Amino acid sequence: MAVFFNEPAHTFNEYLLIPGYSSSTCVPSNVSLKTPVVKFKKGEEPALFMNIPLVSAIMQSVSGDKLAVALAREGGISFIYGSQSIESEAAMVAKAKSYKAGFVKSDSNIRPDQTLEDILDLKKKTGHGTVAVTEDGTADGKLVGIVTSRDYRVSRMDIDTLVSEFMTPFESLICAEEGITLKEANNIIWDNKLNALPIISDDGKLCYFVFRKDYDSHKENPNELLDPSKRYVVGAGINTRDYAKRVPALIEAGADVLCIDSSEGFSEWQKLTIDYIRSQYGDSVKVGAGNVVDREGFLYLAESGADFVKVGIGGGSICITREQKGIGRGQATALIDVCQARDEYFEKTGVYVPVCSDGGIVHDYHMTLALAMGADFIMLGRYFARFDESPTNKLVMGGNYVKEYWGEGSNRARNWQRYDLGGATKLSFEEGVDSYVPYAGSLKDNVTQSLGKVKSTMCNCGALSIPELQKKAKLTLVSATSILEGGAHDVIQKDSNNSYNK
């Protein structure tokens, strides 16, 4: 006979936090949101952590290279979507990894015998104002000069003017030799009031640039998440079909962490994928797995070697898996069950496997609830799809700005690999919808505000860190009437358009 769970499955909306004692030091500015991303042994530090507990969903309409950069600046990780060719996903990873680094490989290069018109075309293509002039026009050719916007005036020059005639020649440049430290390079930039410092080899070939704006950017974004080479940390999605080809390409491109993208992860296909990665790379390549909704699913993936486990089936705003297939579980109940299994596994083995809550987040306070229930970090799709940095179009509907947002199981995405059960290589039926979300502006502004609420609520609970919140949190189920009571009620709200407010 089937196994029945007598307790109903609950969502985040059915819970509230009970305030705890807050000391005078418990203020939002003292709260740390640092959290582990990958598994680690008791008494050791994780190989990868985040400064904020947010990652972006592995979706075409959410996670491109632009959002990866923006989220890493804030301290989180974007998982670039895998429902594209191996080459294009690897290119997105590489682009995000090279966007900002202490030592940047030049992507704007030109020969001295080319023209101002070529400079303008190159600037339009790359968006970068500093162009390296090398003998052969390559990124590692012999440096002969540099062109910046200060070197030419389009209104006063012929577009056929040779680069060699208006570039700043090599003998007038301040350069540094390969092997210099980033701190030494930044000191040279500061002392000489430079915007860019070329790093060259012994034989005069261009190796890298160090830019003043990168130093300024770091000061403006103290939480930014960087790898040991001072590049942004970037994740990437993989599937259980072409992993033997996709994984090497993504690692070569610089991906810091991978995640198997699947609607249902309690499957041997996930174990086979992890087995391949371990056989080829050992523990050096980090890979998360999922999704699951109960303790058995978590234990299977943890014992299979997953570096983190993703929780949630059918809770996403564009997901109709529950409607189509009748499988899933309320996100809050699923998360609580899995996190209890995670803690028991840690006590038994001494290995802590982080849990990612994926789906079910409607309001900002749901983030705090997910963390209090045991999640180490949260994966968000709809939330990030609303921002400037997501890869979709911004449209006007009914006088309001919206952005396109579609599920990986929709006919638009046709990501059959995510729903693969070893059968035909196609999407048999839809498990996602095509939709719009209200446009919300920049990622930075919204993430700052959302996490400000999280920190404030944590202080209400007397917690200054995520582990402390999980230890001190007191949660209560609420009735439908209580939910209504939580909003504005029994009043006539003012309308800003009414004449008495003008």
Using the structure block, give the residue that is written with the tokens 């009437």: 481
Residues 364 and 450 sit within 8 Å (Cβ to Cβ): yes
246 belongs to the catalytic site: no
At 20 the three-state DSSP class reads: coil
| Alpha-carbon gap, residue 320 to 32, rounded angstroms | 35
Structural tokens at position 150:
């200060």
407/59 Cα distance (integer angstroms): 7
CA distance 153 to 391: 34
Measure the CA–CA gap between 313 and 418, rounded to whole angstroms: 12
* Catalytic pick among 26, 207, 259, 319: 319
SS3 170: helix
Contact 474, 18 (CB under 8 A): yes
Helix and strand counts by DSSP (H, E) for the chain: 16, 24
Residue type present at position 501: N
The first and second tokens of residue 441, run together, are: 């502006």
- Residues 206 and 132: beta-carbon distance below 8 Å: yes
Our CA angle for 53, 54, 60, nearest 5°, is: 160
Please list the alpha-helical segments (H only) found in 75-207.
Answer: 86-99, 116-126, 163-166, 182-192
Instruction: Answer positive or negative: Cα dihedral of 130, 134, 137, 142.
Output: negative
Distance CA 465, CA 469 (A): 6
User: Which DSSP symbol is given to 494?
Assistant: P
Rounded Cα gap, residues 286 and 227, in angstroms? 14
Q: Which of 231, 339, 418, 461 is catalytic?
A: 418
DSSP state of 255: -
Q: Check if 26 is active-site.
A: no
Active site residues: 319, 418
